[in-house]
Amino acid sequence: MDNGYYAIPRLQAVFEGAKRFGLSDEEVWRAFDDSLDETGADASVAEYLDELTGELARRILCKQRRAPTDERVAARERL
């Protein structure tokens, strides 16, 4: 499938989703910057979003693993 022909979510929606899963604004923006550095200037928007969503997912999982059990339960209940 050619990545240029499907709908791409707005960055704000991606950021809000990451914050809903427990990342802070600072953590989201740090992931944004790291993803931009990783993909480089020649990357397409789809390539960048793949990198960004992967980086956000890694950070969410890492943060959830470090969180005590009661915080994880509270996070799930907010969903």
Q: Per residue in 31-56, pLDDT tens?
A: 999 999 999 889 988 898 899 999 99
User: Is 1 within a domain?
Assistant: no
How many domains are there within the chain? 1
pTM to 2 decimal places? 0.72
User: Is 3 within a domain?
Assistant: no
* Residue 26 belongs to domain spanning: 8-78
User: Is 23 within a domain?
Assistant: yes
Select from 15, 12, 44 the least CA-distant residue to 31: 15
What is the maximum alpha-carbon separation in the chain? 43
User: Is 2 within a domain?
Assistant: no
The whole-number pLDDT of residue 67 equals: 72
